[in-house]
Amino acid sequence: MMKKIIALILVIVLALGLCACASSGGETSTGGDSSSGGNSSSGGNSSSGGNSSSGGKTADGKIVITAWLTGSAQGDNKAFENAAKNFEATHDNVSFDITYIGESSDEYQAKWAAAAQAANFPDIFYTGSGMVAQWAKAGLLTDLGEEFYADTEWLSHLQSGSLEFCNAYTGEGTVYCIPTVVETQGWVYNTKLFEQCGLEIPETWDELVHCIEVFKANGITPILHGGIDRWAIWGYHAFLTRYGFTYEEAQKLQSGEEKFADCYAIRRSLERMKELHDMGAYNEDAYTISHEDAWARFQAGQGAMYTVYSNIANGVLNPDADGNLPSQEKVDAFAQMKFNFGPEFPDGTLSGKSGLRYYGWAYAFGKSANDSPEKRALVVEFAKSTLSEENAQFMVDNGQNPATTYDLTYPEKSGLENSFIDSFTVDLIPTTDTFVYWFDQAYLDTYYSVTTSVILGQITPEEGIQMYQTLCDSLQ
């Protein structure tokens, strides 16, 4: 079983999407060109960073480590800023030059694409792990595998398979990036409504169908969906791999060696979505409301189920910028939510519990990290410190879930956040969102459209499959 798990973890690919889970509400992301990127700082102090004409050193001889982060000096970046500040405090020969390369995924993508074309990535940068193999093969990154794999103590504190996931298809033992956080996607349930109707949280397809029937009989919307935002389909990504879809098959489809109409996994996945629509599982206005609207309704108790990504819960119950605590209504809403990976299929092909859990965001190392032996060693030392026990605890305190195994102290969490934390350690077969990771990015919009349109009943599975084939033919 372990070999099978590792094999599935490694089947990750050359194209990122996100995540999901990044700051653009689930859309994919890729990024940057330093000349046009945001505000700069240096571990919180911009005066000690910046470009230099003396080979990457400041006027007083400090080695400059350049870094790009997505977004702003908030959220995900607090942990990096904290690690940089602590590193500067203990290394008087180092100065960080940190640049924020954009708030939206479109901005990251433009900047990363420009950086790849100009071969000017910084020493270390926050990015989606899906693009790492492509950049590594183009000679744009530095392989630090020798140093990381030699440090067995540091490795022992990483979640199993996380380093391999981030460096899939770059060669055995290579490390062009390290994981930062663990994420997951699936389904969330209003436990109050389940208890009200005498139901258990569904684990299988048959149990899900039964729950839908009972909720409909009681006048409760079974599944809320915001169809305007086509990317809000997190709970459906795992359908494909549960039906046996593989990286190898994705390559055959894109090359034209196999026709989409002959792909069992794609057809069965879409048929399952059609079944949900035909059962009347969704809100009638699903095609006219957004993810934000649907999520708000779910929090208000107006539906029994919703599909989510784990970062949706990060920090939602923390004080706002003015120090105001969330309303008791919101606290109560999150306390009655529970997450799982979604229904297992009776005709699925995996031999155990499966779910989408991955390490989609990472710190990657640009070619310049190898400018000198001294800089290389410092970059490695600093990168390790970003996942030290101290910094991992800092991440937890700021609403993140680090890809580590330390016995960390989590602050008081809501029911939903606790079930997310539990999902990061449960034994399962990891699956992935295949069109995001295994297909060329040209397929992503069609994937979003096909999936959403079948869910909404606007097209049939056969029409969706034809949309895929038409796109494939146009790309040949």
Q: Are strands 183-190 and 124-128 parallel, antiparallel or unpaired?
A: unpaired
Neighbouring residues of 60: CB distance < 8 A, sequence distance ≥ 6:
none
Q: What is the pLDDT of residues 314-360, one digit of tens each?
A: 667 766 767 788 888 888 888 999 999 999 999 999 988 899 888 88
Q: Where are the beta strands (DSSP E) in 321-421?
A: 337-340, 354-358, 361-365
Query: Which of 175-213 are b and which e, b meaning 16 or more Cβ less than 10 Å from the residue's Cβ?
Result: bbbbbbbbbbbbbbbbbebbeeeebebbeebeebbebbe
Neighbouring residues of 327: CB distance < 8 A, sequence distance ≥ 6:
none
Q: CA gyration radius for the chain?
A: 22
Please list the helix, strand and coil fractions of the chain in percent, rounded to the nearest 5, in that order: 45, 15, 40
> Is pLDDT at 26 greater than 60 in this prediction?
no
Q: What whole-number distance in Å separates Cα of residue 190 and Cα of residue 59? A: 59
Q: What is the pLDDT of residues 239-284, one digit of tens each?
A: 999 999 998 999 999 999 999 999 999 999 999 999 999 999 999 9
pTM comes to: 0.76
> Is pLDDT at 19 greater than 70 in this prediction?
no
Of the two residues 41 and 26, the one the predictor is more confident about is 41
Of the two residues 46 and 359, the one the predictor is more confident about is 359
Count CA atoms within 13 Å of residue 316 on its CB side.
22
CA distances from 86 to 83, 364, 369, 394, 410 (A): 5, 20, 20, 12, 22
Q: Are strands 124-128 and 361-365 parallel, antiparallel or unpaired?
A: antiparallel
**pLDDT computed for residue 180 by the predictor:** 94
Neighbouring residues of 316: CB distance < 8 A, sequence distance ≥ 6:
326, 330, 334, 414
Q: What whole-number distance in Å separates Cα of residue 41 and Cα of residue 44? A: 5
> Is pLDDT at 469 greater than 90 in this prediction?
yes
Q: What whole-number distance in Å separates Cα of residue 80 and Cα of residue 385? A: 10
Amino acid at 17: G
Least confident segment among 341-350, 364-373, 410-419? 410-419
Average the pLDDT over 115-125 and give the result: 97
H helix runs in 97-156, sequence order:
105-118, 132-137, 145-150, 152-155
SS3 125: strand
| Other beta carbons within 10 Å of 390 | 11
Q: Is residue 399 very low, low, confident or very high in pLDDT (cuts 50, 70, 90)?
A: confident
**pLDDT computed for residue 3 by the predictor:** 36
Pick from 30, 111, 108, 6: nearest CA to 436: 30
Average the pLDDT over 403-414 and give the result: 84
CA distances from 409 to 294, 379, 413, 449 (A): 33, 28, 11, 41
Query: Hunting for tokens 């890809």 — which residue is that?
Result: 403
**Helix pair 461-475, 444-455: axis angle to 10 deg:** 170
Q: Which one of 17-31, 253-267, 401-415, 429-443 scores highest in mean pLDDT? A: 253-267
Q: CA angle, corner 307, sides to 302 and 308, nearest 5? A: 110
Q: Are strands 124-128 and 177-179 parallel, antiparallel or unpaired?
A: unpaired
Q: Is residue 37 very low, low, confident or very high in pLDDT (cuts 50, 70, 90)?
A: very low
> Is pLDDT at 49 greater than 70 in this prediction?
no
> Is pLDDT at 53 greater than 80 in this prediction?
no
Pick from 391, 365, 361: nearest CA to 378: 365
Q: What is the pLDDT of residues 178-234, one digit of tens each?
A: 999 998 999 999 999 999 999 999 999 999 999 999 999 999 999 999 999 999 999
> Is pLDDT at 389 greater than 70 in this prediction?
yes
Query: Which domains occur in the chain, in start order?
Result: 2-182+359-408 (3.40.190.10), 185-355+440-475 (3.40.190.10)
> Is pLDDT at 42 greater than 80 in this prediction?
no
**pLDDT computed for residue 75 by the predictor:** 56
Q: Where are the beta strands (DSSP E) in 201-253?
A: none
Q: What whole-number distance in Å separates Cα of residue 386 and Cα of residue 394? A: 10
Average the pLDDT over 2-28 and give the result: 38
**pLDDT computed for residue 9 by the predictor:** 41
